[in-house]
Structure 1
Amino acid sequence: MRQAVVGMLAHVDAGKTTLAEAMLFAAGAIRRRGRVDHGDAHLDTDAMERERGITIFSKQTSLDYNDVHLMLLDAPGHVDFSAEAERTLMALDYAVLVIGANDGVQGHTETLWELLGRYGIPAFIFINKLDLAGTERAAVTDELARRLDAACLSGEELLGGGAACEDAAATDEAALDEYLEGGALSRATLRRLVRERKVFPCFAGSALRGEGVEAFMDGLAALVDEHAWPEEFAARVYKVSRSPRGERLAWLKVTGGALRAKTVLSGVDRGEAWTEKVDQVRIYDADAFQTVSEVPAGRVCAVTGLSHVVPGSALGSEPAGAVPVLAPVLSYQVLADGRDVDAVVRALRELADEDPMLGVSWEEQLQEVHVQLMGAVQREVVQQLLHDRYGLDVAFGPGGILYKETITEAVEGVGHFEPLRHYAEAHLMLEPLPRGSGIQAGTRCSEDDLDRNWQRLILTHVFEREHRGVLTGAPVTDVRITLLGGRAHAKHTEGGDFRQATYRALREGLMMARERGACELLEPWYRFRLVVPQEKVGRSLADLQRMAAEFDAPEVDGELAGIEGVAPASEMHEYALEVSGYSGGRGRLMLEYAGYRTCHDAQRVIDEAAYDPEADLPNTPDSVFCSHGAGYTVKWHEVPEHAHVSIDPARLRPWREADGAFFSSGF
């Protein structure tokens, strides 16, 4: 039996969960179709999901149809939970992108489409809600070809030998030869074209009424291809959650060999090597599960017993994956109202363990807890989870933009920590990386100059926490950190000494960059689509220019005009209400995260932050040296002159990334 893991993706309210419900009913996997609006959908089992009528947590179920076993992963559609949707992509063989015929292609639809391309996932499209008045398949099909890909072709025609086959053949040389010779494409060729993302079959109907669902499932089953998996065990974790009993569940896709209960696995996550035994292996159907002894390659499951893995963790022979694209853009202060702050921080960090995009930080100087989130709906869900799971009632302060910092040229940082009977020195090279790269780390230091265990320890400290920039104290990103050299003392060096030396080296390097004018403030930008009546275009263009937006010329469609572009999130996140006001309710604004870019009003933000990096003592750039048995502080700009190690470029080795193999094996 052929099998595939298929993800259900969509913008909010497109009817994705309703389609999954209809598919399960058509395959006989459930006896009656639930409805999202009635709160009895098979996959929306969480109380918050039923109350809000949206999918918040990805769910797993399965069905058999026409001799194909399909494992469905229903991912969230709301933009605030798009990071959960992105993590789900790690487990997919195919995706079903659901488009609401009444809404067409939305900004979030385009983001999902780009993510599918980034992860190389073949996609089917289902145009839903054609039962609504004023909807036409042809209009949506034209929009798909224009805004997503010209190879979005009718699935019915592809399978029936219609006109779409000629368009499909034109995407591939071998397929074109086959079509010219016989006037048709074989089922095997169509499967290959879909698998290689050269063709995207489109189907249409009404999931709520069950119209077009069987034709879609016939097409899905016909076009899912065989997959040959390697014999050596491999798996990738795509989600971490807690069971109702509090057990930590690691959800993973087995990509090689088989996963057996009681198997001992090892890996490196967050710079820490670990070895643990898989306890239970579970196959879930919504919230129900059965325990199994083994899961073969190509299937998804949840396991207990793995306490160190995070979404994205590679197990066995699985290679490292891509860095996630989506990131939180807002920061909120958590108001504990006299509650035990330590308990609040512990609870938030446990939630962050399940959702890496939920950033949690303790601001020592302000004695405040802050969280980084995607938006207001996610904030409300976090608030509810704290109440339901931990009995903690908290409030949140007003949201602010989550800024980040980076550098624009390479600098070397030196950190030295030598109070009495302690010793460590570290030299780090900091280099700028392209936007969206995050933090990378590696070494060029010879093992003859610094033992490999000390090198591993230094680079563990690089990864173990978020590092502050020196402009506003915002997190540092898009930087490659390379260990050039260092020194330990045979008698006096302890592990914590290199932590201090590493932190100080990073800060000293950032201060050097700041002195050279090579520090840069970044802010999140939104991709937007603004639709307004034609007579309001002038007002809209004036607003966009004021907000430092970059946009294309308006496109007129009847009485309305559409404008697309990108703009700073700080300017746009409250603009929707303004649009509704000046357009008499006829305008609409769609926003989607578009990554971090240079801050458009950096000096204002820096001035308002009034951040003094030298006064931030927990993140000091200064170093500690020792003389005559007493430690003394050396200001950051004088540290290179006092350093004990001098870096000889001729002794540097080729760059070696600090990846799992680096931490778990020899050089």
Structure 2
Amino acid sequence: MQAHKERLLHGTARARDAWPPHLLQSCALATKEGARVKQAVVGLLAHVDAGKTTLAEAMLLAAGAIRTAGRVDRGDSHLDTDPMERERGITIFASQASLDWDGTHIMLLDAPGHVDFSAEAERTIAALDCALLVVGANDGIQGHTETLWDLLRRHQVPTLIFVNKCDLEHPGRSALMADLRARLSPVCLDGAAFASGDPTALEDAASADEAALDEYLETGSIAPASYAKLVAERSVFPVFFGAALRNNGVRELLDALAALAPEHSWPTAFAARVFRISRSDRGERLSWLKVTGGTLRAKMMVEGADHGAPWAEKINEIRLYQGKRHETVAELPAGSICAVTGLTRTMPGSALGAEAAAPRPLLAPVLSYQVIPAPGTDASALVRALRELASEDPLLGVTWHEQLQEAHAQLMGEVQQDVVRELLRDRYGIEVEFGPGGILYKETIVEPVEGVGHFEPLRHYAEVRVQLEPLPRGTGMQFGTRCSEDDLDRNWQRLALSNAMERDHAGVLTGAPLTDVRITLIAGRAHAKHTEGGDFRQATYRAVRQALMTAREQGACVLLEPWYRFRLVVPADKVGRALTDLTRMAAVFEAPEAAGEMATIEGVAPASETGEYGLEVARYTGGRGRISLELEGYASCHDAEAVIEAAAYDPEADLPNTPDSVFCSHGAGHTVKWYDVPEHAHTTVDPACLRPWRPADAAFFTKRP
């Protein structure tokens, strides 16, 4: 108890508006005795209205990092600093703050809670040492809560759970724990019960791990270090209860974070990962990153890769943010998060230095909207502005339809629409509206196919042969080479592959983006005098397109659509209506499971069919039913023929994506139709001469032949 009082006094003594000096010296992170202070990046995640930002304010106040707690409803919270966030009362952009508690330096990242900004939350998760998942006691686990849980599992982030708003009406602590165990994990553990030595909680923790069980059987308890190890290994998930607005349970939660946040041993070589790109109030481009190795220093050169092409830039400033305020530091150790200026080629997910490439994001937009500019707006300026915003958010897809002279944006939902609209107006002075949203389809192939592209107008020359192979669903695009350097010099191979990687390739069924395909360079030819860089770009584009047209003729092209995993809860007497609806929607589902007066149906359904079904459920169940949705991934389109017919897409008329080639004859270039190109091609492929497949990664683009 005395130690607890001393800790509280220590935190209160630091309460002031100015930054505590030790936060500016986080590169040292040392106590008076010279021992290194434990530090951890802790993410706050929740579904909207769970009280996550209120909890962050209460934690900062309890630790003495701020003098007074802000309120979301008053628009003065320390972490929701953007005007759009304060106007809407929701977190849109991940924000940073720091506090110290019981010898642990905790760097908080407040991630967005609205489903439209799930991608921002996923990028934040990749930077975490530990996560704090907030669940509202009054409304329980939501569909988005389960999506966040899946992301935490995918990134293997140790997680604590805080059940907030326990001062409001709720089903009771036991019922809440039962729901957490049923919906999230059976090893959700009452953290307070464990701390008090409750035998049931101890047994639950011990049963999660063989070593912990042996310790419990021998000693009748589990040591704090063993408990922390269970949490770090995601063997148990401690659950705490409270009400952040009333400061109930906040200090106990901080105690647990300080004791259970995992410690890391970082490598000595510099490495970092970018998790966010933003702009300061003065328009400076900020790259938010986590240092995962060595030491980050101001004015140092850092290396990265853009679509496989290496680059090097100098960092100007290293900034530590506390809400909206920031201070600069000269250097920062591994394990820290910060924002840096000076980097122009980074994107969310960029790996710097020795950091490994990021895993492919799980979340992606499934809706595409026409961007309608105000009369008199320069279309090229609009597209440039959208693409600059897309460089800050890679899941904001931007497409320019040349034939229609229209810009289209791929977004997560209507709230993100509002954010993009306001950013375009405030930053670029461009007023836009959005047309009706449509499903973002994709295309792939189911059989390998070869393609060849030739570009030879007068005084130009390049030819490229590629092989396209199908990949498992959700893999995305891969690029590599099997071409011998005796047949095509490494520099030309690098150019062809960088050209292939620099754009989305349109499919030939509806013009939708190509996905889940490996594109391999297998042959090529250049001219010693006439070949220029742009020649290989044209030849590569045409080779990929010619391969897709061949696949189309062979019936090997497939249209994909997004599918949602759903959980539908309805009164037992409405199950028949629900099953009829799901069958009509082409859903695939399990048999209903009854629990009292309610029944639950789980399965997958096409995103195109779910639409406003949530509102329909509320209507026919009198408000008692609900449906939660999360993106399952892309799969074959359930009504492909109808979608293809409605699109009326003519791949041969899509001139910016032509499958035809240009050959030179009698001193002039002439077009050869795609189906005749193989007969006119100058290259052949000898399978015996092909090299083992090599990915077009940073090593391929940087190492000397």
Fold similarity call, TM over 0.5: yes
Q: Distance in 2 between matches of 1:347 and 1:623?
A: 33
Q: Distance in 2 between matches of 1:666 and 1:470?
A: 37
Matching of residue 665 in structure 1 with residue 703 in structure 2: yes
556-565 or 218-227: bigger deviation: 556-565
* Partner SS for 2:357: coil
188-197 or 579-588: bigger deviation: 579-588
Map of 2:692 onto structure 1 = 654
157-166 or 598-607: bigger deviation: 157-166
Amino acid at match of 2:687: P
Q: Among 123, 130, 135, which residue is 2:171 paired with?
A: 135
Q: Distance in 1 between matches of 2:425 and 2:164?
A: 36
Q: Distance in 2 between matches of 1:479 and 1:81?
A: 27
* Partner SS for 1:201: strand
Q: Distance in 1 between matches of 2:194 and 2:470?
A: 47
**Distance apart, 1:666 and its partner CA:** 2.7
Q: Among 390, 393, 403, which residue is 1:352 paired with?
A: 390
Map of 1:72 onto structure 2 = 108
Map of 2:130 onto structure 1 = 94
Q: Among 488, 502, 508, which residue is 2:540 paired with?
A: 502
**Aligned ranges for residues 362-511 of structure 1 at < 5 Å?**
362-511=400-549
Amino acid at match of 2:545: R
* Partner SS for 2:450: strand
Amino acid at match of 1:263: M
* Partner SS for 1:91: coil
Matching of residue 292 in structure 1 with residue 329 in structure 2: yes
Residues 127 and 137 of structure 1 are in contact (CA less than 8 Å); yes or no, is this contact kept in structure 2?
A: no
Map of 2:305 onto structure 1 = 268
Amino acid at match of 2:396: L
Map of 1:229 onto structure 2 = 266
Q: Distance in 1 between matches of 2:699 and 2:346?
A: 16
Q: Among 27, 51, 55, which residue is 1:15 paired with?
A: 51
Q: Distance in 1 between matches of 2:307 and 2:171?
A: 49
Q: Among 582, 606, 615, which residue is 1:568 paired with?
A: 606
**Aligned ranges for residues 276-355 of structure 1 at < 5 Å?**
276-338=313-375, 339-355=377-393
Residues 99 and 127 of structure 1 are in contact (CA less than 8 Å); yes or no, is this contact kept in structure 2?
A: yes
Q: Among 186, 207, 215, which residue is 1:150 paired with?
A: 186
Q: Among 279, 282, 304, which residue is 1:245 paired with?
A: 282
Q: Distance in 1 between matches of 2:412 and 2:598?
A: 30
**Distance apart, 1:92 and its partner CA:** 0.5
Question: In structure 2, do the counterparts of structure 1 residues 102 and 389 end up closer, same or farther at CA, with 3 Å as the change threshold?
Answer: same
Residues 268 and 664 of structure 1 are in contact (CA less than 8 Å); yes or no, is this contact kept in structure 2?
A: no
* Partner SS for 1:32: coil
* Partner SS for 2:85: helix
**Distance apart, 1:46 and its partner CA:** 1.2
Residues 563 and 632 of structure 2 are in contact (CA less than 8 Å); yes or no, is this contact kept in structure 1?
A: yes
Residues 559-584 of structure 1 deviation map (CA, whole Å, 9 limit, x = unaligned): 33222221111110221222222223
* Partner SS for 1:641: helix
Map of 1:526 onto structure 2 = 564
Q: Distance in 2 between matches of 1:99 and 1:129?
A: 9
* Partner SS for 1:235: strand
Residues 431-451 of structure 1 deviation map (CA, whole Å, 9 limit, x = unaligned): 111111111111111112111
Amino acid at match of 1:82: S
Map of 1:583 onto structure 2 = 621
* Partner SS for 1:383: helix
Residues 79 and 592 of structure 1 are in contact (CA less than 8 Å); yes or no, is this contact kept in structure 2?
A: no
Q: Distance in 1 between matches of 2:599 and 2:207?
A: 34
Normalising to structure 1: TM-score of the pair? 0.98
Residues 118-148 of structure 1 deviation map (CA, whole Å, 9 limit, x = unaligned): 1111111111111111331211211111121
Q: Among 548, 558, 574, which residue is 1:536 paired with?
A: 574
* Partner SS for 1:241: strand
Number of aligned pairs?
Answer: 667
* Partner SS for 1:208: helix
Residues 414 and 504 of structure 1 are in contact (CA less than 8 Å); yes or no, is this contact kept in structure 2?
A: yes
Q: Distance in 2 between matches of 1:632 and 1:62?
A: 65
Residues 129 and 261 of structure 2 are in contact (CA less than 8 Å); yes or no, is this contact kept in structure 1?
A: no
Q: Distance in 2 between matches of 1:397 and 1:469?
A: 23
Map of 2:21 onto structure 1 = none
Map of 2:587 onto structure 1 = 549
Q: Distance in 2 between matches of 1:371 and 1:242?
A: 21
Amino acid at match of 1:457: L
Q: Distance in 2 between matches of 1:390 and 1:534?
A: 53
635-644 or 164-173: bigger deviation: 164-173
**Distance apart, 1:609 and its partner CA:** 0.2
Q: Among 649, 664, 668, which residue is 1:630 paired with?
A: 668
Residues 83 and 357 of structure 1 are in contact (CA less than 8 Å); yes or no, is this contact kept in structure 2?
A: yes
Q: Distance in 2 between matches of 1:465 and 1:505?
A: 14
Q: Distance in 1 between matches of 2:202 and 2:530?
A: 74
* Partner SS for 2:126: helix
Q: Percent identity?
A: 68
Map of 1:218 onto structure 2 = 255
**Distance apart, 1:216 and its partner CA:** 1.2
Q: Distance in 2 between matches of 1:25 and 1:216?
A: 13
Q: Distance in 2 between matches of 1:590 and 1:398?
A: 23
Residues 418 and 424 of structure 1 are in contact (CA less than 8 Å); yes or no, is this contact kept in structure 2?
A: yes
Matching of residue 124 in structure 1 with residue 160 in structure 2: yes
Q: Distance in 1 between matches of 2:196 and 2:484?
A: 64
**Distance apart, 1:247 and its partner CA:** 0.8
Map of 2:216 onto structure 1 = 179
Q: Runs of 4+ in structure 1 displaced over 6 angstroms?
A: none
**Distance apart, 1:589 and its partner CA:** 2.4
Residues 171-223 of structure 1 deviation map (CA, whole Å, 9 limit, x = unaligned): 22222222221111111111111111111111111111111111111111111
Map of 1:166 onto structure 2 = 203
Q: Among 245, 262, 266, which residue is 1:208 paired with?
A: 245
Amino acid at match of 2:511: G
Residues 247-306 of structure 1 deviation map (CA, whole Å, 9 limit, x = unaligned): 111110001110000001122112332111111111111111101100110000111111
Matching of residue 107 in structure 1 with residue 143 in structure 2: yes
**Aligned ranges for residues 16-95 of structure 1 at < 5 Å?**
16-95=52-131
* Partner SS for 2:244: coil
Residues 398-436 of structure 1 deviation map (CA, whole Å, 9 limit, x = unaligned): 111110101111111111111111111111111111111
Q: Distance in 2 between matches of 1:584 and 1:171?
A: 41
524-533 or 78-87: bigger deviation: 524-533
Q: Distance in 1 between matches of 2:260 and 2:218?
A: 22
* Partner SS for 1:39: coil
Amino acid at match of 1:153: L
Q: Distance in 2 between matches of 1:586 and 1:170?
A: 37
Normalising to structure 2: TM-score of the pair? 0.93
* Partner SS for 1:413: strand
* Partner SS for 2:68: coil
**Distance apart, 1:235 and its partner CA:** 0.6
Map of 2:27 onto structure 1 = none
